[in-house]
Structure 1
Amino acid sequence: MPVIAPMPAARPASLPAQRGGADETVAAGTTVDHLTETYRAHYRSLLGLAALLLDDTASCEDVVQEAFIRVHSARNRVREPEKTLAYLRQTVVNLSRSALRRRILGLKLLSKPMPDMASAEEGAYDQLERDALIKAMKGLQRRQREVLVLRYFADMTEAQVAETLGVSLGSVKAYGSRGIAALRVVMEAQT
């Protein structure tokens, strides 16, 4: 459970006297003094409620403060002052849910990390290697080239290559072995 910050000191709020004989507090609803007393008495418990729903102290404090602001703004609608705490609790729960929804939406909207991509230098080097390999392949005998292309680029088994080319399995092995040896010589000469 996160560490809860000490309760901030509350300043007593009062409304200026209104003209026309009206009382200093709202006649039907929660008074400013009652809300101030509720703040002093229940700030920590509301902060604890928010801490059970959220994961960081700053968000909890923000939610509780926002709840008090909303109750203060809507104090005329709270007809029974003893229900002020219940209204505050419900507001804290609703604001916590909203905060969590915003976080989840934010996580969904974050751009997905790109898969590991080669740097431009690596890409250029890979392209040079591919070009050198293609050039070396073109220098091989026709059957050697066919066997290597079918075996390693088309990912066929030796038996499938033999069937495709209409040669024996032994011929495929021989052409493949000679072709790889010839490629190795050409590629090593280029480096």
Structure 2
Amino acid sequence: MDHSSARDSEFVRSLYSRYGRSLLGRVLGLVHGDYQRAEDIVQETFLRAWQHQDSLDPDRAGPWLHTVAHNLVVSAYRKVKARPAESPMPEDDSGGWAEDTDGGDQELDRMLERWQMLDAMRGLRPEHRDVLIEVYYLRRTVAETAEHLGVPLGTVKSRCYYGLRALRNVLEERGVTSR
């Protein structure tokens, strides 16, 4: 093996030892636990990292790798959705073919965003997560949240502030950007 091949091999090995486990876990969640698909996507992700090693900083590669893997999952999903239907499409009331109006791509994007958010929420401190769930997901007021959790109003406000900040940091670390 020449010097260049050894360097390439070491680059991929170091990335894999550093990020492989977390990347596989994340992809497994995105593909509903299909281990074979997850391994294929992780392998393709590291292949792309190898192809971009000249512009990739190993110390900051995590978000890049997670974004590439996410995009590969989305591309694979869209490729499957683009295949012709294997069974006849249902007819509408008029006897014509019913159109798919629920927007499969939009639904996929919403689903992936929910997975990303759920995964990011797991990275928060429990008290921050609890307040954010109460206020933003259950749509309780600050007063209702304070009463439900048995903490002062100011504590709820403070936990919301610091929880949102921590959530933004977790999402940025994973390469998810705000719109």
TM-score, reference length from structure 2? 0.43
Larger RCO, structure (CA 8 Å, separation 6 or more): 2
- By percentage of residues, which structure has more helix? 2
TM-score (ref. length: structure 1): 0.40
Structure showing greater radius of gyration is 1
